[in-house]
């Protein structure tokens, strides 16, 4: 299999990954989500920085940056929901 990467293909894969991530995040405890969010906030931009030094199109880098931002937003939203859910259930 010798498939070429394209911005549209990458964007589609990143969207599919975010859908999967959201499904998994919905069941995690708030403390776990907090740790994941903190780790992602540290590592996500680092990977973006590494991409700057590799050959590729600006569109692919933009797609990655967009994905990082949307994933950070998703993690924040899911963490907040988990805090309310766990608090209501007396787990915090």
pLDDT at 86: 92
C-alpha 7, offset from chain centre: 18
SS3 55: coil
Classify the phi-psi angles of 55: left when phi > 0, otherwise alpha if psi is within -120 to 50, otherwise beta: beta
d(CA 75, CA 34): 8
pLDDT at 3: 64
Q: How confident is the model at residue 2 (pLDDT cuts 50, 70, 90)?
A: low
pLDDT at 39: 92
User: Where do runs of H (alpha helix) occur along 1-92?
Assistant: 7-25, 30-52, 58-88
Summarised one tens digit per residue, pLDDT across range 20-72 is 888 998 999 999 999 999 998 888 778 777 776 777 677 777 777 887 888 88
């Amino acid at each position: 299999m010798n498939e070429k990467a394209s911005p549209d293909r990458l964007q589609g894969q990143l969207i599919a990954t975010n859908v999967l991530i959201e499904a998994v995040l919905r069941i995690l405890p708030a403390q776990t989500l907090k740790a994941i969010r903190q780790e992602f906030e540290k590592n996500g931009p680092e990977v973006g920085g590494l991409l700057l030094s590799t050959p590729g199109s600006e569109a692919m880098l933009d797609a990655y940056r967009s994905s990082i931002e949307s994933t950070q937003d998703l993690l924040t939203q899911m963490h907040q929901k988990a805090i309310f859910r766990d608090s209501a259930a007396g787990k915090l």
